[in-house]
Amino acid sequence: MSLNTFGHLFRVTTWGESHGSALGATVDGCPPGIAVDEAMLQHWLDRRKPGQSRFTTQRQEPDTVEILSGVFEGQTTGTPVQLMIRNTDQRSKDYGDIAQKFRPGHADITYWQKYGIRDYRGGGRSSARETAARVAAGGVARAALASLAPGLTITGYMVQIGPHAIDRARFDVAQIERNPFWAPDAQAAAEWEGYLDGLRKTGNSVGAVVEIVASGVPAGLGAPIYGKLDTDLAAAMMSINAVKAVEIGEGMAAATLTGVENADEMTMGPDGPVYASNHAGGILGGISTGQEVVVRFAVKPTSSILTPRRTVTVAGEETEIVTKGRHDPCVGIRAVPVGEAMMACVLLDHLLLHRGQVGGNRGRIG
Amino acid sequence: MSLNTFGHLFRVTTWGESHGSALGATVDGCPPGIAVDEAMLQHWLDRRKPGQSRFTTQRQEPDTVEILSGVFEGQTTGTPVQLMIRNTDQRSKDYGDIAQKFRPGHADITYWQKYGIRDYRGGGRSSARETAARVAAGGVARAALASLAPGLTITGYMVQIGPHAIDRARFDVAQIERNPFWAPDAQAAAEWEGYLDGLRKTGNSVGAVVEIVASGVPAGLGAPIYGKLDTDLAAAMMSINAVKAVEIGEGMAAATLTGVENADEMTMGPDGPVYASNHAGGILGGISTGQEVVVRFAVKPTSSILTPRRTVTVAGEETEIVTKGRHDPCVGIRAVPVGEAMMACVLLDHLLLHRGQVGGNRGRIG
Amino acid sequence: MSLNTFGHLFRVTTWGESHGSALGATVDGCPPGIAVDEAMLQHWLDRRKPGQSRFTTQRQEPDTVEILSGVFEGQTTGTPVQLMIRNTDQRSKDYGDIAQKFRPGHADITYWQKYGIRDYRGGGRSSARETAARVAAGGVARAALASLAPGLTITGYMVQIGPHAIDRARFDVAQIERNPFWAPDAQAAAEWEGYLDGLRKTGNSVGAVVEIVASGVPAGLGAPIYGKLDTDLAAAMMSINAVKAVEIGEGMAAATLTGVENADEMTMGPDGPVYASNHAGGILGGISTGQEVVVRFAVKPTSSILTPRRTVTVAGEETEIVTKGRHDPCVGIRAVPVGEAMMACVLLDHLLLHRGQVGGNRGRIG
Amino acid sequence: MSLNTFGHLFRVTTWGESHGSALGATVDGCPPGIAVDEAMLQHWLDRRKPGQSRFTTQRQEPDTVEILSGVFEGQTTGTPVQLMIRNTDQRSKDYGDIAQKFRPGHADITYWQKYGIRDYRGGGRSSARETAARVAAGGVARAALASLAPGLTITGYMVQIGPHAIDRARFDVAQIERNPFWAPDAQAAAEWEGYLDGLRKTGNSVGAVVEIVASGVPAGLGAPIYGKLDTDLAAAMMSINAVKAVEIGEGMAAATLTGVENADEMTMGPDGPVYASNHAGGILGGISTGQEVVVRFAVKPTSSILTPRRTVTVAGEETEIVTKGRHDPCVGIRAVPVGEAMMACVLLDHLLLHRGQVGGNRGRIG
C-alpha cells in the first residue's frame, strides 16, 4: 500500500529528493544468507552514473552507496537492507529561472497542485535521481537471483532513439557495453551519436525505446489476474520516470497479428517444450513459460529544453520558459540500467512468491 | 498482496472459473451511502455480454449479477459488496479434443506447469469470463464516482482491429454504441465487419487496440514512484486477459518526439491552466493534470483457431491442435467494457487515496 | 490493506451481514493440490453452529457452506476459493424495539457514527454471524496444514467463564468435546452449567477466556518487528467480535515474573533443544520455537440483556433499552471454534511466508 | 506485506540492528504541509534514551536523529520521510561470553533457527534499540495529529512493575514525568525504586504493565473485521519487544463481568452521547466511540540476567549461561514512550483511512 514501495515479498521503498542530503532504498524481504557488499552494488550504480558521456546529464556525482543495515559479515541477515546514497552535487542555483514557472511536460505542476510543494531545486522527488536507489536495490535482487536462480541473466539495451531504430539483423550483444547508448547495433550507435549531437546543440531532447530481456527464467513465475508477472512488469517499468508505454513480447504489434501468426508453436525437446517463436514474450496467462521474458518501454523526451515554450507561473501569469542548466538530450539512455534493476526486482519477488505459494512447479510435461 | 486483488483503498478481488458454478467479485472499500442496485450493475454487464453479435463468442449466458452483501436499502454500507454471477452455460463437451493438448499462445501450459491443474473445460481461471466480475465491480466504482466526482465520464472504444485503424479525423463519439465493435468511426466499423467475417469463416482471429478516455478527472490524483496513476493504470490494463501492451498519452510514439514537440504548452484560463495539447495523456509525474486521461492497450488474437498448429501433450508427445467449439474472431471487442471498468476502479481508488493522504489539492495556480 | 481481509500470502476476506441473503469468505492464496470439499468444511461449521445448547443463541440455521470456486475435482487449484453460506433464519422482527436505540456496549452506535448506516436487523456486519465465514476459511487452512505440516494440531477450549476458571490440575483434553462449553475440566463444566442457567434466567450474560494451543508448529515461523507470529496472532484474535484482550504464553502474568523465573531453560534432546517450561508460549522475538504455541483471549459479555440500561436514541433522546429476542448468555462459547480457525489461518500464512522468504530453516543446533 | 512495516496509509518501516552503523525508519504516507523538524523528533527520542537512570540500560548513546528526506523548508512534502539514527556505542566485546550460547527467553535461538544468522553482538534486529526508530516515527505521527486532530493527546505510564501495581485512587498525571518509571503514583514510584534496586543488585529483572491513553480521539476511527482500531492497536503493541499481552479497556477482566456490569450507559450531553463508564476502552465493534482509547500491555522481564540458567550452544552442547554486560532490571520502563509512539502512528493511520474511505462521520446523534 505504501505508494513509494514496489514488490510483494521482496519489497523496495525508495526515498529521497534530488537536492536533499541523501536518497536511498529500504529493501525488505531479501532472503538471508545472500552475499552482498557495497562494491557489488556500486558496480551497477556506476553503469547508471550521470556524466559519463556528453549524451547524459552533466551532473557530476560519485553516487556512492552505503549499506546501513541488513548485511552482517558479508551476508544478508533476512532483515531490512538500508541503502543510502549521499547527494553531493546539489547546485540548485541553476534552476533559479524556473522557480515560479511550470515546465510544460514536467511534473512540477502536478506536484504543486497535489501537495502544495514547490521544490524548484531540480525536480525534488520526481527527479530521475530517484532511480539511483532502484539500481542499488536491483543490485541486491541480482545477488539473490544469482543464488536462487543460477543461470538467469538480465540484459537491457536501447532499440530506438527518436525515429532511428536498431536493425535486428545486426543485433550483437557484445556491442552493448561498447557505446554510450547501450546499443546492440554498432551502426545504430554511430547514427545516434550524430543525431543526438545535433539535438544537444540546439538544446532539444528526444525519446527512446528500451528493451530488457531476461533469459533463464524458470517456468511458473506469476499468478492469475492481478499478480501476473506481466502486470507487475508493466507497473514496474511504467513507474520509471518519463516512461509512457510498456510492451510484453509483440506488444502493440500483437494487435496486427492473426491467431495463426501469433501462435508460438511447440515441439518436444529433451528438457520440455521447445517453442518455435516467442510472440508472447515469455509470459502466458500472467505466468512465465521458461522462454526469454521480453519487455520494452518508451521514454519520452525530457522537458528541460532551450526552445522557449508557453507556460504559466504559480501566480497564474502567462509567460515563456527556457530551461537552462544541465541537459539530457536523451534521458532514455540512463533508463537502461534502471529497467534492468526493475526486471531483477520483479523476477526475484515472483520467485519468492512462487516458492511460498506453490513451493515448486507441480505439473510435468512428458 | 492477494494476487487476485487490485486496488489500494477500493479493492476488488475476483474469483471463479469459466466452468465452475459461479464467479464474482468481492468489492471492499466502497464508501458508504452510495446508491447501488443490481439493475445498475446489470446495465454494464449487458454491454459486455457474449453472444451479442457474430463477432464475439457464441457462449450464451444471461450473466445476471446478484448482490449478496454490502448494500442495504439501496445504499452501500461501507462493508464488502459481494457480487455473484452464476455460470449457466457450462457446455464443456466442446473442449474434449484439447483435454491433453496445450494450445499455442494459451495459458493452459503455464497453469499446468505452475499449479499442476488442468482445467480443460475452457480456460478455468484464465478464461475471459473472469472479466464479467470486473465489469460488475466497475459498476460499483462508477456509482461511487458519480457521487464523488460528478462530471467524470469514462469512454472506451476500439481504435484498431488487425492492421485497420480508425481515422481520427472521422472520430464521432456517437458512433460508438451503434456498431458491434465500439468503433467511433462508422467507416472503420464497416471495414472491420468485412474483415472479421473473412477471418471468422477460416476460423482465424486477430488482435486489436482499445482506447479508454476519462474526462473530468480532477488534477492531483496519483502519487510518486510506485503508486503513480499511470503505474496503476498500466497494471490494471495489463491484467486483462490477452493484453500485451499499455500506452499512456503518446505511448510508444513518445519515443519519436523531441522535447519541443512533446511539451504540452499552457495558457491561463478562467479555471486554471489550459493545455494546448495532451501528449502526456493527462498524467505528469504519476499525477493527473486535470486533462483527459488517455490509455490504450493492445489485445492479442485468441489462440482458439481452426488452423492446425504444432504443439505437445501433457504426456510430452508432439501433435497438432485445432480448437473447435466457440470462437471469438476478435476478443479485443469484449475488452472495451472491461477496460472502462478498470479505469473506473483505478480512478475511484486514487480519488479515495488522495482524499485520505492529502485531503484535497493544496497548491493553487493563480 | 483491505480492511475486511487478514493474512499476507494466505488471505481471507470475509463478507456479509447477519440479515443479508448470504455471507462468506474469499480465500486467496491457498496452495494448489490440497484436498478440500464441502463436507470437510461443514464439519468445522457444525461445531460452531448456533442453537446447539441452551447456552448459545437460539438462532436456528443449518449454516451450510457452498464452495463456489477454486476447487476442481476435489482439489484446490491455486485460485481463489469462494465460500458461501446462505442466511436462512433472518427473523428481523424481534429487533423492532431497538431500531432507534443504541445498545450500551454494542457496535451499533459506532457504525452509525462512522457510516451513517443503521442496520437494526441484528448487528449487520458487526454480528457474530460473520465468524461462520472465518470458520469455513479456517477449514481450508486446516486442510492445507494437514498436507504441509503433518502432525500440527490445533485445540481450543474454554478456561474461564465469568469468575469461574478451570483447574489446570484437572485438565483433560478428552473432556473438551463432551460438554457444551468446550471445557477441558468436567467439574468446571458442571459448575458453569449452573452458573449460566442462573444468568440466562435473568437475561444476563457474562464474559469468558478462551485458550488455543497449537502443537507440532515448526520452529522458525514468524518475522521480526511487525510480521511477528505473535503480532499476527494478537491481531487475528482481537479481530474476533467482543474480544478485549490477547495473551501469548504467560500473557499479563509475565509482568509479575522475574527474569530468573521467566527463563525457559533448555537441555539437548535427540531432535534439538528441549525446553523445561513454556512461559514464552512458543514464540521468541516473534518467531516460533517449536514448542506449543499458546494464545488466550478474553471475550466480553454480550450487550443484549434483559436488564434495562440507560441509553440514547438516534434522535438524541435519553431512554432505556432492553434487548428482547435471542440471547447468548456467554458468546465466548462460540468463540472457541473461531479462535481455532484464526490460529489455523495465521499458522498456514506464516508457513507459506517462511517458505517463500527463507525457504526452510537455515540454522541447525547440534 | 513488508514484514518490517506497520500501517495502512501512514506506513512505517523500521530498519537497522543494535550494532550496525545506523538504524532508522522510512515513514511513507505522512500528509504534506506538516511542520516537522529534527528538534521535534529529538524531544521524543530523548524521553526514551537509555542510560537516564540506574533502572535502564547503561548503554550511552545520544540517539541523535537526522531527517534525510521528505521535509523541505520545515514542512513535510508528502514523500517518504527517512529518519536515521547513527549507532555510536557499539561495544560488542561485552557479549563475548554468549556468542555460542542461546539465552533462555531470548530471540537469539529463533533467529538462528530461521535465518541461520547469529548476530551475537547484542541482539541484532531483535534488540530493543529498534524501538528508537519507532519513537522517531511516532514523532512525525504526533506532528501530523497535532494538525489534523487538534486536542488529541496521548499519555503513557507504568501501572505495574512485578507484583507491585499503582493505586488508581492516587492517580496523578503530573507525577508521570517526575520519576524514572513514568509512574502516575508517587508512592508506587518510591516502592518500585527499592524493589528494582534489589533486583539490580542480584542481576535479576522483572516484567511490567504499561498503559497508554489517548483522549480527544474522534468517534468513527476504525473498521470492521480486520482493520479494526483495536486489532491494529493489539498488533502494534504486541510488535514491541518483549510484550506478551495486550488489553483494550477492561481487557482480561472483561471475562469476569456480566452484561449488566459491562454496559457503558449513555445519557445525552450538549455535544452528543455521554458515557457513564468506559469498560470498552473507547472502542466498540472496532470503531472509536469518542471516549478515551485505553490500551495496556505486559512486558516480560529481560533474559539478560546474572543467575546461571541451563541452556544449549549452537553446537548442541548443554551448558549454563550468565549474561554479563549492561542490564535493564525492567525493560518495561523504556517501553512507555514506545507504546505512545505506536498509539500515535495507529491513530494517525486510522484518521487518514477514515478520511479516505468515508470522508467524515456520516451519522449524527440528535
Q: For residue range A215-258, list pLDDT tens digits in order.
A: 999 999 999 889 999 999 999 999 999 999 999 999 999 999 99
What is residue D73's predicted lDDT score, i.e. its pLDDT? 92
Which of B8, B262, B283 is closest, CB to CB, to A301?
Answer: B262
C113 with D365: Cβ contact below 8 A: yes
Interface B-C, measured as beta-carbon pairs within 8 A, has a size of 148
Instruction: Write the CB contacts of D159 (distance below 8 Å, at least 6 apart in sequence).
Output: D165, D166, D184, D209, D210, D211, D296
Residues of D in contact with C266 (CB under 8 A): 102, 104, 109, 310-312
Q: Are C347 and C145 in contact (CB under 8 A)?
A: yes
Residues of C in contact with D273 (CB under 8 A): 102, 109, 312
CA distance B264 to B277: 5
Residues of D in contact with A119 (CB under 8 A): 72, 77
Average pLDDT over residues D136-143: 98
In this prediction, residue A124 has a pLDDT band, given cuts at 50, 70 and 90, of confident
What is residue C88's predicted lDDT score, i.e. its pLDDT? 85
Give the orientation angle of helix A130-148 with respect to helix A332-357, to 10 degrees. 40
Percent residues over pLDDT 90 in chain D: 82
Residues of B in contact with D224 (CB under 8 A): 79
Closest-CA distance, B41 to chain C, in angstroms, reads: 18
Which of B33, B77, B82 is closest, CB to CB, to C24?
Answer: B82
Average pLDDT over residues A149-171: 98
Chain CA centroid to CA A37, Å: 22
Cell of residue D328, nine digits: 535493564
Quick check: D128 pLDDT over 90? no
Q: Are A322 and A53 in contact (CB under 8 A)?
A: no
* CA-wise closest residue to D115 among A37, A354, A8, C221: C221
C285 with D209: Cβ contact below 8 A: no
A15 with D79: Cβ contact below 8 A: yes
Q: Which residues, numbered 171 to 190 in chain D, qualify as contacts with chain C under a Cβ-Cβ cut-off of 8 Å?
A: none
D115 with A2: Cβ contact below 8 A: no
C357 with A362: Cβ contact below 8 A: no
Q: Are C250 and C262 in contact (CB under 8 A)?
A: yes
CA distance A279 to A263: 8
- C212-256 pLDDT, tens digit per residue, is 999 999 999 999 889 999 999 999 999 999 999 999 999 999 999
Q: Which residues, numbered 199 to 228 in chain D, qualify as contacts with chain C under a Cβ-Cβ cut-off of 8 Å?
A: 199, 204-209, 219-220, 222-228
- D184-223 pLDDT, tens digit per residue, is 999 999 999 999 999 999 999 999 999 999 999 999 999 9
> Chain D within 8 Å of A3 (Cβ-Cβ)?
yes
**For chain A, what is the mean pLDDT?**
93
> Chain B within 8 Å of D285 (Cβ-Cβ)?
no
CA distance C342 to C334: 13
D352 with B357: Cβ contact below 8 A: yes
Please count the helices (runs of H) and the strands (runs of E) in chain C.
Answer: 7, 18
CA distance C38 to C44: 10
Task: Encode burial over B303-322: b for 16+ CB neighbours within 10 A, e otherwise.
Answer: bbbbbebebbbbeeeebebe
Which of A105, A256, A299 is closest, CB to CB, to B263?
Answer: A105
- D21-54 pLDDT, tens digit per residue, is 999 999 999 999 999 999 999 999 998 776 677 7
Residues of A in contact with C224 (CB under 8 A): 79
Average pLDDT over residues C42-53: 81
Quick check: D234 pLDDT over 80? yes
Cell of residue A321, nine digits: 520558459
Q: Is D256 annotated as a binding residue?
A: no
A78 with C353: Cβ contact below 8 A: no
Please return the burial class of B215, using the count of CB atoms within 10 Å of its CB with bins 0-12, 13-18 and 19+: middle
* CA-wise closest residue to B261 among A301, A365, C151: A301
CA distance B226 to A296: 18
Residues of D in contact with A84 (CB under 8 A): 68, 84
> Chain B within 8 Å of C69 (Cβ-Cβ)?
yes
Q: List per-residue pLDDT tens for chain B, 366 residues long.
A: 578 999 999 999 999 998 889 999 999 999 999 999 999 999 999 987 766 777 776 566 788 999 999 999 999 999 999 999 999 866 555 556 678 899 999 999 999 999 998 877 767 888 888 999 999 999 999 999 999 999 999 999 999 999 999 999 999 999 999 999 999 999 999 999 999 999 999 999 999 999 999 999 999 999 988 999 999 999 999 999 999 999 999 999 999 999 999 999 999 999 899 999 999 999 999 999 999 999 999 999 999 899 999 999 999 999 999 987 767 899 999 999 999 999 999 999 999 999 999 998 889 998
Lowest-confidence region among A154-158, B97-101, C347-351: B97-101
Q: Are B268 and B274 in contact (CB under 8 A)?
A: yes
What is residue A88's predicted lDDT score, i.e. its pLDDT? 85
Could you tell me the strand order of the sheet in which B208-215 lies?
A164-165, A153-161, A208-215, A293-299, A243-248, B243-248, B293-299, B208-215, B153-161, B164-165
What is residue B57's predicted lDDT score, i.e. its pLDDT? 66
CA angle A37/A39/A42 to nearest 5° reads: 115
Question: CB neighbours (10 Å) of residue D229?
Answer: 29
Closest-CA distance, B109 to chain C, in angstroms, reads: 14
Which residue type, as a one-letter code, is found at position A160?
Q
What is residue B93's predicted lDDT score, i.e. its pLDDT? 55
Which of D3, D79, D125 is closest, CB to CB, to A77?
Answer: D125
In this prediction, residue D175 has a pLDDT band, given cuts at 50, 70 and 90, of very high
What is residue D51's predicted lDDT score, i.e. its pLDDT? 63
CA distance B179 to B173: 12
CA distance C351 to C347: 6
> Chain B within 8 Å of C20 (Cβ-Cβ)?
yes
Q: Is B86 annotated as a binding residue?
A: no
Q: Are A83 and A41 in contact (CB under 8 A)?
A: yes
Q: Are D149 and D216 in contact (CB under 8 A)?
A: yes
Chains linked to A by 3 or more Cβ pairs within 8 Å: B, C, D
Which of A3, A16, A68 is closest, CB to CB, to D69?
Answer: A16
A3 with D72: Cβ contact below 8 A: no
What is residue C58's predicted lDDT score, i.e. its pLDDT? 59
Q: Which residue of chain C has the CA closest to A1?
A: C1
Q: Is D285 annotated as a binding residue?
A: yes
Residues of B in contact with D29 (CB under 8 A): 357
> Chain A within 8 Å of C358 (Cβ-Cβ)?
yes
Sign of the alpha-carbon torsion through D73, D79, D82, D83: positive
Chains linked to C by 3 or more Cβ pairs within 8 Å: A, B, D
- D70-112 pLDDT, tens digit per residue, is 999 999 999 999 999 999 866 555 556 678 899 999 999 999 9
C17 with B114: Cβ contact below 8 A: no
Can you give chain D as a three-state secondary structure string?
CCCCEECCCCEEEEEECCCCCEEEEEEECCCCCCECCHHHHHHHHHHHCCCCCCCCCCCCCCCCEEEEECEECCEECCCCEEEEEECCCCCCHHHHHHCCECCCCCCHHHHHHHHCCCCCCCCHHHCCCHHHHHHHHHHHHHHHHHHHCCCCEEEEEEEEECCEECCHHHCCHHHHHHCCCCCCCHHHHHHHHHHHHHHHHCCCCECEEEEEEEECCCCCCECCCCCCHHHHHHHHHHCCCCEEEEEECCHHHHHHCEHHHHCCCEEEECCEEEECCCCCCCEECCEECCCCEEEEEEECCCCCCCCCEEEEECCCCEEEECCCCCCCCCCHHHHHHHHHHHHHHHHHHHHHHHHHHCCCCCCCCC
Please return the burial class of D42, using the count of CB atoms within 10 Å of its CB with bins 0-12, 13-18 and 19+: middle
Average pLDDT over residues C135-163: 98
Which residue type, as a one-letter code, is found at position A239?
S
What is residue C257's predicted lDDT score, i.e. its pLDDT? 97
- D276-303 pLDDT, tens digit per residue, is 999 999 999 999 999 999 999 999 999 9
Higher pLDDT, C59 or B317: B317
Q: Which residues, numbered 294 to 323 in chain C, qualify as contacts with chain D under a Cβ-Cβ cut-off of 8 Å?
A: 298-305, 307, 309-312, 314-318
C116 with B32: Cβ contact below 8 A: yes
C-alpha separations of B298 from A248, A264, B162 in Å: 10, 18, 10
Instruction: Write the CB contacts of C64 (distance below 8 Å, at least 6 apart in sequence).
Output: C42, C45, C85, C86
**Binding-site annotation: residue ranges of A for NADP(+):** 48, 54
What is residue D31's predicted lDDT score, i.e. its pLDDT? 97
Residues of C in contact with D106 (CB under 8 A): 284-285
Quick check: C92 pLDDT over 60? no
Quick check: A315 pLDDT over 60? yes
> Chain D within 8 Å of C356 (Cβ-Cβ)?
no
Q: Which residues, numbered 21 to 60 in chain A, qualify as contacts with chain B under a Cβ-Cβ cut-off of 8 Å?
A: none
What is residue A6's predicted lDDT score, i.e. its pLDDT? 95
A220 with B113: Cβ contact below 8 A: yes
D28 with A5: Cβ contact below 8 A: yes
What is residue A327's predicted lDDT score, i.e. its pLDDT? 74
Residues of A in contact with B233 (CB under 8 A): 238
Which of B103, B284, B299 is closest, CB to CB, to A105?
Answer: B284
* CA-wise closest residue to C206 among C339, C321, C329: C329
ipTM of the complex: 0.96
